[in-house]
Structure 1
Amino acid sequence: MKTVMKLALATGLAALATATSLPALAQAPAPQRNPNELAARQLYSDVVGIRTARGHKQMGVMTGYLKEQLLKAGFAESDITITDYDSEGEPTQGLVVRYAAKGKPKAGPIVFLGHMDVVEALPEDWERPPFTLTEENGYFFGRGSLDNKYGVATLTHNFIRLKKEGWSPKRDLYLVFSGDEETGMISTRAQAKMVAETIKPALVLNGDAGGVAMTEDFKPVMYQVQAGEKTFATFELTVTNPGGHSSRPRADNAIYELAAALGKIQAYQFPVNASPLVRSYFGAMGKLTPGEMGQAMQAFAANPEAPEPRVKLLSDPGISTQMRTTCVATMLRGGHAENALPQSAIATVNCRIMPGEGGAAATQAALAKAIGNDNVKFKLMTNVVESPESTLTPEVRAAVMASLDARYPGLPIVPELSSGGTDGMHYRALGMNTVGIGNAAMRSADIFAHGLNERIRVEDFYKGLDHWYLVMKKLAG
């Protein structure tokens, strides 16, 4: 999906660190890995090796591979469902796996989300083969090594691990993996509808968001939980004109009119949205952020109307995205010949809309009012999904704490609002409480999802293996 950063760790760390270089890690002898770690690494390597980017039609290979591994572990054919979809003209698949409770379930089902597709990676652009898991300099490199085959591999691995151990959950658990999250989200929408109508989960936990945020020297500072997502909406703004010969300029010009409108959008600032989630986020972040910025965060959390802390926070573009809707021009085209007056000019404006603000319609109305020119016509270009904020329930918080205590005891848990988009939005939109509690641990300099040389630190891969194991046992044991 069009995403600023699904884990949203970069925003949280913006005030904590500025380094971006990849340090040379000391080449200590590689520790000897136990059978559980080796099995997880093999599964991870195998799924990274399947090129599930659009255009390669490999999703059937992926679902077939995962099904084979689950059957070997003891899951029955009836536990595994592979669904077929047409995703904008290309076939794709979804995967649903049920880990059934023994006897009568003691509580409602839990659904664990992930997506099996990845953004395309061209081998000629990468330093290493993108669809081969490469271990080098203390990192695992490969397309999807983070987004989201790390989540898919570790969720699947822990289902297999628990099944082989003979563990019986006290409530039904489901893996629900989509096949086109990075593009049309056709499988995501269909699966969310199916989950709402047939599984009716008590909890939906997203493995494609959340995680441990680290400083540039790899010190863990907080665990971020995705509790909401901004709404993604793209508009085309068009101005038309009869045009004419360029030797006879006229008072009205489509390009000038559009330029003036974009200037109004640039100058316009959406109001600050101090929702309970936003205030709790800044209250927690303020305690972790040094200096004046940290003080401003805490002051804003205590009193969002106080002008000084508000101005301080809004001065930082990375931080202010957590406080308000944003709209920005991203593409521009106009005119048809160098010696002719433009008959049309078109701009693309992308918006990330805060929950609870009326969605795309209200945002369009605000932009149109700011522009103040009826000649500028709006067209909504995206299939907008507006989703509310979710709640980090006490039972999920306790499960996350059980995992963190095994890795980083006492690490604070901070619910946050993601600027990007994940499968979770579709589940929230259908009324299911959905939070992102992924197992990644990263510093901002290592976030290369959708980019070149995507990676995750080897040490953090292995440290995160028990995350879902502990969460599942805590919630269903």
Structure 2
Amino acid sequence: MAFKVVTFCLLLFAIFCALFTVCLFRTLFTFRSPKPEPCGSNHKQIVADQNVLKRFSDAIKLRTISWEKGVYERDELAKFAALIKNSFPNIHSSKFITHEIVNNYSMLYTIKGSDSSLKPYLLLAHLDVVPVEVNKWIFPPFEGTIKDGYIYGRGSIDVKFSVMSIMEALEYLLKNGFKPKRSFYISFGHDEEVLGADGARMVANKLKIKGVGELEYLLDEGSPVLKNIILGVNTLVAMVSTTEKGYATVRITVKGEPGHSSFPPFNLAVNKLAKIIAKFTPNAHRNMFGYGIEMDLLESIAPYASFPYKFVYSNLWLFEHILAYIFTLKPLTNSFIRTSTTIVKVNAGIKENVVPSEAEAVINHRINPSQSVKEIFEYDKYLAKDENVTIQLLDGYFEPLSISPTKDTFGFEKISKSIKEIFGDIPVVPGILIGNTDSRWYRNLTNCIYRFLPVVLTEDDLKGVHGHNERLSVSNYENSINFYHHLILNSNEKHILQKKKIKSEL
């Protein structure tokens, strides 16, 4: 008996040693720390001087709010278009650039290159912003206040800085004699915050009418350069989103008995609704870790991580279930691995002494790329299953976008190169965008759709997006301008860089 126990223990020890050896080998050799890439550039740094900052501040002052589909501040949007035209005279007087207003407010620029054999690319941003709660802000949200190295205001991050950065970069290039070989487009939608049906959708249709067959790549707003967000990684991490979530909103309506509040009936609509929506927690839908691109993300991060995180990220085959749990501990990482579920509206009652006969809740989902609208709606129906309850899938839903390629692709390579030229030799990794952008309207023009914000943001910075006290540092804004400057120059090249291929460990 003792011999069997010893043999069993030795067998377990041998298995442990074998597993440890395999994991250590993968950590040290397969996911070894990369040598710094030469990222030097002869490009002269564009400085965000007072004139540059004033133009950005003036853009923030415009209340280009989108309230709901088809309802937006039209006069303010027109003022924004006028501001852009007056601020960048070289762009609007260039012989090889045409400027069009699409559906009254969206903007489309065509920059004609000299080599028609090269496929064009598209840079996107949007002019509109979300509403604000004015009394919750330190500085007025539409004054463009510059204080202590920050520009405050709605749209400073989402996403007027991209609009102005792209234009500043192109204006600077034209002043210095830039003549493109590769054609490209710039488009600013006017209703992205209400799903872009009047703006980006119409611009995409315009491009088709113009005969644009296929784009080399598309770059829209997306994930930022992350700071102190990924465990075990002390360096900045540039996350370029190669997919984005789908979108669906459902309405749950509960019927109950009406009456006087002094002797309420037992079958209260509000009480029943409360029991149902209590099931719709942030973790209501299942954990999809391992089904999406988070594995690629972590393996891309592994060479830059410190121990023991590097050991874990290098061996996802062994630690997958542990990481699946760890990702659930923070709202941001939890949203990466599942369909998010948020109760956004609850409504019932007409007067304080009248028992409401009906109560309703509206629930918004951002759908994980590994799932579908149908799958999510069927599970919602299961959660809400009860008598006198109806559940409705509201208009405006759409499926998650497909994952864009990153290996040996022109767009991802040029975006990565430009990132490293601005932010240094930091990891550039694929990611998932947990929100939604205008880019989905252009799916028929390219399968190389990337989403990236060329600014360094922390978790606290991200709270200002659609929240209070949204702000962007002056240094971030300057980096953003220079990123687009480099990207336009790098995209003027004909081919991707040929890199030495690394043999597989197998």
Q: TM-score, normalised by structure 2?
A: 0.75
Q: Counterpart of 1:3?
A: none
| Paired residues of 2:137 and 2:469 also in contact (CA < 8 A) | yes
Q: Counterpart of 1:370?
A: 383
| Paired residues of 1:142 and 1:454 also in contact (CA < 8 A) | yes
Q: Counterpart of 2:90?
A: 72
Matched, 1:427 2:442: yes
Matched, 1:416 2:431: yes
The letter for the 2-side match of 1:222 is: V
Select 1:164's aligned residue among 149, 155, 175. 175
Q: Counterpart of 1:314?
A: 328
Q: Counterpart of 2:291?
A: 275
Select 2:277's aligned residue among 242, 245, 262. 262
Once the two structures are TM-superposed, the CA of residue 125 in structure 1 deviates from its matched residue by: 4.9
Question: Greater CA deviation, 47-56 or 182-191?
Answer: 47-56
Matched, 1:192 2:192: no
Once the two structures are TM-superposed, the CA of residue 410 in structure 1 deviates from its matched residue by: 1.7
Matched, 1:439 2:454: yes
Question: Greater CA deviation, 39-48 or 452-461?
Answer: 39-48
| Paired residues of 2:224 and 2:455 also in contact (CA < 8 A) | yes
Question: Greater CA deviation, 349-358 or 443-452?
Answer: 443-452
Q: Give, in whole Å, the separation in 2 of the partners of 1:200 and 1:143.
A: 36
Change (3 A) 1:451 1:369: closer
Q: Counterpart of 2:488?
A: 472
Select 2:185's aligned residue among 174, 177, 183. 174
Once the two structures are TM-superposed, the CA of residue 296 in structure 1 deviates from its matched residue by: 5.7
The letter for the 1-side match of 2:461 is: D
Change (3 A) 1:288 1:339: farther
Q: Give, in whole Å, the separation in 2 of the partners of 1:398 and 1:77.
A: 26
The letter for the 2-side match of 1:191 is: V
| Paired residues of 1:235 and 1:380 also in contact (CA < 8 A) | yes
Number of residue pairs aligned between Structure 1 and Structure 2: 433
Superposed, 1:25-424 pairs within 5 Å as 37-38=48-49, 40-53=52-65, 54-55=72-73, 57-73=75-91, 74-76=93-95, 79-85=98-104, 93-102=105-114, 104-121=115-132, 125-183=136-194, 185=196, 186-198=198-210, 199-215=212-228, 220-244=235-259, 252-266=267-281, 268-272=284-288, 274-285=290-301, 299=315, 301-302=316-317, 306-335=320-349, 342-359=356-373, 361-373=374-386, 375-393=388-406, 394-424=409-439
Change (3 A) 1:189 1:320: same
Q: Give, in whole Å, the separation in 1 of the partners of 2:176 and 2:369.
A: 42
Once the two structures are TM-superposed, the CA of residue 165 in structure 1 deviates from its matched residue by: 2.3
Once the two structures are TM-superposed, the CA of residue 106 in structure 1 deviates from its matched residue by: 3.0
Q: Counterpart of 1:450?
A: 466
Once the two structures are TM-superposed, the CA of residue 72 in structure 1 deviates from its matched residue by: 3.4
Q: Give, in whole Å, the separation in 2 of the partners of 1:139 and 1:113.
A: 24
1:404 counterpart SS class:
helix
Larger Rg: 2
Q: Counterpart of 1:9?
A: none
Once the two structures are TM-superposed, the CA of residue 146 in structure 1 deviates from its matched residue by: 1.8
| Paired residues of 2:46 and 2:481 also in contact (CA < 8 A) | no
1:331 counterpart SS class:
strand
| Paired residues of 2:165 and 2:484 also in contact (CA < 8 A) | yes
| Paired residues of 2:245 and 2:366 also in contact (CA < 8 A) | yes
Q: Give, in whole Å, the separation in 2 of the partners of 1:124 and 1:423.
A: 30
| Paired residues of 1:208 and 1:422 also in contact (CA < 8 A) | yes
- Structure 1 runs not aligned, ≥5 long: 1-32, 86-92
Q: Counterpart of 1:15?
A: none
| Paired residues of 1:387 and 1:429 also in contact (CA < 8 A) | no
2:379 counterpart SS class:
helix
Q: Give, in whole Å, the separation in 2 of the partners of 1:431 and 1:238.
A: 40
Question: Greater CA deviation, 245-254 or 322-331?
Answer: 245-254
Once the two structures are TM-superposed, the CA of residue 316 in structure 1 deviates from its matched residue by: 3.7
Change (3 A) 1:256 1:442: closer
Once the two structures are TM-superposed, the CA of residue 285 in structure 1 deviates from its matched residue by: 4.6
Once the two structures are TM-superposed, the CA of residue 206 in structure 1 deviates from its matched residue by: 3.1
The letter for the 2-side match of 1:59 is: L
Q: Give, in whole Å, the separation in 1 of the partners of 2:352 and 2:420.
A: 65
The letter for the 1-side match of 2:171 is: I
| Paired residues of 2:46 and 2:478 also in contact (CA < 8 A) | no
Change (3 A) 1:143 1:248: closer
| Paired residues of 1:329 and 1:349 also in contact (CA < 8 A) | yes
The letter for the 2-side match of 1:257 is: K
Q: Give, in whole Å, the separation in 1 of the partners of 2:172 and 2:314.
A: 43
- Structure 2 runs not aligned, ≥5 long: 1-43, 66-71, 494-506
Question: Greater CA deviation, 120-129 or 340-349?
Answer: 120-129
Once the two structures are TM-superposed, the CA of residue 409 in structure 1 deviates from its matched residue by: 2.5
Once the two structures are TM-superposed, the CA of residue 109 in structure 1 deviates from its matched residue by: 1.2
Change (3 A) 1:229 1:384: same
The letter for the 1-side match of 2:439 is: G
2:381 counterpart SS class:
helix
Q: Counterpart of 1:5?
A: none
Once the two structures are TM-superposed, the CA of residue 325 in structure 1 deviates from its matched residue by: 1.1
Question: What are the superposed Cα offsets for residues 152-199 of structure 1, whole Å, 9 maximum, x if unpaired?
Answer: 011011222222222222221111101122235221221233335533
Change (3 A) 1:69 1:278: same
Q: Give, in whole Å, the separation in 2 of the partners of 1:131 and 1:339.
A: 41
Q: Give, in whole Å, the separation in 2 of the partners of 1:246 and 1:122.
A: 33
2:336 counterpart SS class:
coil
Change (3 A) 1:245 1:371: same
Q: Give, in whole Å, the separation in 1 of the partners of 2:287 and 2:191.
A: 34
The letter for the 1-side match of 2:404 is: T
Q: Give, in whole Å, the separation in 1 of the partners of 2:120 and 2:75.
A: 32
| Paired residues of 1:121 and 1:452 also in contact (CA < 8 A) | yes
The letter for the 2-side match of 1:348 is: V
Once the two structures are TM-superposed, the CA of residue 380 in structure 1 deviates from its matched residue by: 2.4
Once the two structures are TM-superposed, the CA of residue 356 in structure 1 deviates from its matched residue by: 4.2
Change (3 A) 1:194 1:135: same
Change (3 A) 1:334 1:78: same
